[in-house]
Amino acid sequence: MATIRRKGRHGDGTVYERKGSPYWWVKFHVAGTPVYESTKTRDKSEAKRFLRRRLGEVATGQFVSLKTEHLTIADLCQLVIEDYIDNRYRSLPDLRRKIAQHIEPIVGRERAIQFGTRHVRRYITRRQREDASAATINRELNVIRRGYTLAHRSDPPLVTRMPYIATLAENNIRRDFMEYDQYLALRAELPFHWALFLVIAYNTGVRLSEVLGDNRKERLKQPLLWERIDRAAKRIYFPDTKNGESRIVPFIGDMEEWIEMAWEDHVQNWPECPYVIQRYGKPVYDPRKTWNKACRTIGLPNLWRHDMRRSAVRNLDRSGVQSKIATAISGHKTRSVYDRYNIVADRDLSDAAQKMDVYLETKREQAEKASAKPTQ
């Protein structure tokens, strides 16, 4: 009587010998696609256990293909670059620089499936030896973290685990701002085109690139055009902002006076020039040299152009403008970021102390009067 060889159930996979290889091999299917893999063992029992592990990973959705097993941190960084390209982020050049100069030389060859806390510590130690700040290191580690997120969201997922990537404590929040008398002094020291920029930025808190544009490669952005200013309605329209949302900003403070002076100069001398901030009919992009010289002249050598944004946020809050409207003017997308810019100055603290002194003095006087009343 002939012997009948029983076949395994469909989906159980197969352990077999492969010609030319000293090891046992396994065959199983993932989404209908056959997968062939060496077990790296000569023991058949161990090969069967290997197959069962693989089948378990397939059943639970945790199976990582051989191609994915060789995925490196450099590959994850490439996913981030592609994401920046797809979303047209203007910080793409900075991203490429971080990856090429720091991430790839240190951990680029590490396999994503094995990357963990020891690699993170090694990266942090290396960058600290290179005098990188905590904020800089955190931004670079964010690239790796983002790479894992994109890989995990892929269909099918390219990674099955998200390693813990520590964040260093940062203490780099600037607390400098410009008082109104300093604003007037700086405005008087700057040439007209940069003074006009100062007037707009100080009063509204708009970003430098929203007014001056950006002429750097891969970051091209138009400067503020006259066609975006409604002088009758006293409004400026910003169609292309950092957070991707257009917004309308009203004339505030002395903006109307200075914009009218700029318009007269435009009509009389440069009618063909479409740019609001211009010099001899040409756009200007970088006020750094003139700005720094003027700041030194008025005794504020450490004042940054971005400090005007903090000053505007603080002035909006002090004047009683509702936070929802203030964020719409300054262009902050979230209240938390707006609050970070709303800096408490020494004068604010002194004012608060004086108000408390008056309040407590009033309470003290009331208490003395109450105690002085004769008892009946």
Residue with tokens 């309470």: 363
Task: Please tell me the predicted confidence (pLDDT) of residue 70.
Answer: 80
The three-point CA angle 300-302-305 to 5° equals 95
Intra-chain end-to-end CA distance of the chain, in Å: 125
Integer Cα distance of 122 and 100 in angstroms: 18
In the chain, where the domains are located: 14-63, 73-153, 180-346
Tokens of 25: 């091999």
Does residue 109 contact residue 156 with C-beta atoms inside 8 Å? Answer: no
Enumerate the H helices of 298-345 as residue ranges: 307-318, 323-330, 335-341
Residues 6+ apart with CB under 8 A from 362: none
Backbone angles phi, psi at 125, to 5 degrees: -60, -45
Integer Cα distance of 77 and 99 in angstroms: 7
**Measured in whole angstroms, how far is the alpha carbon of residue 193 from the centre of its chain?**
30
Task: Please tell me the predicted confidence (pLDDT) of residue 180.
Answer: 85
Give the residue from 320, 121, 330 showing the smallest Cα distance to 210: 330
| Dihedral of alpha carbons 122, 123, 129, 134, sign | negative
Task: Please tell me the predicted confidence (pLDDT) of residue 203.
Answer: 86
CATH architecture for the domain at 180-346: Orthogonal Bundle (1.10)
Task: Please tell me the predicted confidence (pLDDT) of residue 264.
Answer: 95
Helices (H) and strands (E) in the chain, counts: 16, 8
pTM of the entire structure?
0.55
Successive 10-residue mean pLDDT values, the chain, 376 residues: 46 85 88 81 91 84 67 94 88 92 95 92 95 92 95 82 87 65 91 92 84 64 88 86 72 91 94 93 86 89 76 76 64 53 51 66 75 62
Burial string for 224-263 (b: 16+ CB within 10 Å, else e) reads bebeebeeeeeebebeeeeeeeebebebbbebeebbeebe
Task: Please tell me the predicted confidence (pLDDT) of residue 164.
Answer: 92
Task: Please tell me the predicted confidence (pLDDT) of residue 332.
Answer: 55
